[in-house]
Amino acid sequence: MLIRSKAPLRLGLAGGGTDVSPYSDLFGGGILNATINLYAYASIEPTDNGTVVFGTADGSQVKAFSSKAQVKPEGIFDIHAGIYNRVRKMFTGKELSFRLITSVDAPQQSGLGTSSTLAVAILGAFVEWLKLPLGEYDIAQLAYEIERFDLGMAGGKQDQYSATFGGINFMEFYKDKVIVNPLRIKDSYLDELSHNLVLYYTDSSRLSSQIISKQQQNVLNQDEKAIEAMHQLKKQAVMMKESLLKGDLDEIGKILDFGWNFKKQMAEGITNPAIDQLYQAALGSGATGGKISGAGGGGYMFFYCPGNTRYQVIESLKQFGGHAERYEFTSTGLVSRTL
């Protein structure tokens, strides 16, 4: 028997950062995101040899543990261990023996929600294998709790929910609940959006937890400038939702630029001179707006390029050493199957 699962990565189009506590607890957060056809994958192969084995799909990293012991979260397999320990504690109460192999279509710490999407994919494989009584909201919330509380990883809530539900969603975040509102966007609008929205990898990664911690501290310290920036980003999510539903796509660049100017005010480290230079180069080549994906500091950026300006924007960005990534939007979230 073999259990496979996959969950899609996401583009956070608007409202990024307002899903992070304590802001979302105090004021409520609003995010608009869209999943794309880059994925995190997990495969579980049950065994009977009394071991738990974690491995990467390319075989470069493998760790084995006794089924009798609680697995210690560490290094590259911390998410794997955290999910296994929670599943065993909450649902099985007994030893499990298996091989868990994972991979992700994008680099870690690149701003597409890789860690949380991997957590959802792994949890989805366990749900399929053990027939756990968990729906979409349950899976997303449990993945969030394992990352944030069990493993102490800083971050928000949007990634787990986008990976689980998939599609284009307007999400609301409160202290005790999350509401996922799927948006019915015309296929013609989405086709044009994917053509005009250039996804660019800066060929650099960043430690998002440090930026997120600064953002959280700004809220706790009642930093008026940072909090007002988050209010404006929540407003941006509503603006983006209306433009997508109406098909006013050429407004999206302006909305992205509006949000980027406020996002930079949320915390130190979101941007830097290299990112600012890249952003200005894109605008100078025809883009009307853009933003960094995720917490900031590096990783992926994306730019709205109306008409056929995407080609000259991509050409202008080659000087910075990164590359444009081909992608399509996807309507499907977490999927799993037993072979």
Convert the pLDDT of each residue in 206-225 to its tens digit: 667 788 888 899 999 999 99
Closest CA to 162 of 190, 194, 140, 144: 140
Query: How large is the average pLDDT for residues 277-305?
Result: 92
Map tokens 């998410």 to a residue: 79
Alpha helices, H only, 19-178? 23-27, 78-87, 114-130, 136-145, 158-165
Calculate mean pLDDT across residues 128-136. Answer: 97
Q: What pLDDT is stored for residue 232 in this prediction?
A: 97
- Please give the Cα distance from 91 to 149 (Å, whole number): 18
Token pair belonging to 66: 């006794």
Which of 41-45, 68-72, 154-158, 331-335 is predicted with the least confidence, judged by mean pLDDT?
68-72
Name the helix (H) or strand (E) containing 257: helix 252-263
Structure tokens at 192: 């044009």
Q: Is the pLDDT of residue 203 over 70?
A: yes
- Rounded to whole angstroms, the Cα distance separating 119 from 134 reads 15
Report DSSP state, residue 329: B
- pLDDT reported for residue 335: 98
| pLDDT of residue 205 exceeding 70 | no
pLDDT digits (tens, 9 = 90+) for 227-245: 999 999 999 999 999 999 9
> SS3 for 287?
coil
Q: Which residues belong to CATH 3.30.70.890 in the chain?
A: 187-325
Under CATH, which number does the domain 187-325 receive?
3.30.70.890
Place of tokens 């950062």: 17
Q: Which of 19, 150, 159, 257 is catalytic?
A: 159
Tokens representing 171 are 């999400």
SS3 255: helix
Angle at alpha carbon of residue 211, lines to 76 and 255, rounded to 5°: 115
pLDDT at 69 over 80: no
Structure tokens at 124: 């989805």
Report the CATH number of the 3-184 domain.
3.30.230.10
Mean of the pLDDT values across residues 271-280? 92
In 3D space, the residue among 13, 54, 46, 47 whose CA is nearest the CA of residue 31 turns out to be 13
Asked about 248 being catalytic, the answer comes back as no
pTM for this model (two decimals): 0.95
The Cα–Cα gap between 234 and 232 comes to 5
* Residue ranges, CATH 3.30.230.10, the chain: 3-184
Residue 276, burial from CB neighbour count under 10 angstroms (0-12, 13-18, 19+) = exposed
297 has a pLDDT exceeding 80 = no
The per-residue pLDDT for 3 is 98
In this predicted structure, the answer to whether residue 143 has a pLDDT above a threshold of 90 is: yes
Neighbours of 325 (CB within 10 A): 17
Per-residue pLDDT tens digits for 73-94: 888 999 999 999 999 999 998 8
Q: How many Cβ atoms sit within 10 Å of the Cβ of residue 335?
A: 15
User: Going by DSSP bridges, is the β-strand pair 51-56/29-46 parallel, antiparallel, or unpaired?
Assistant: unpaired
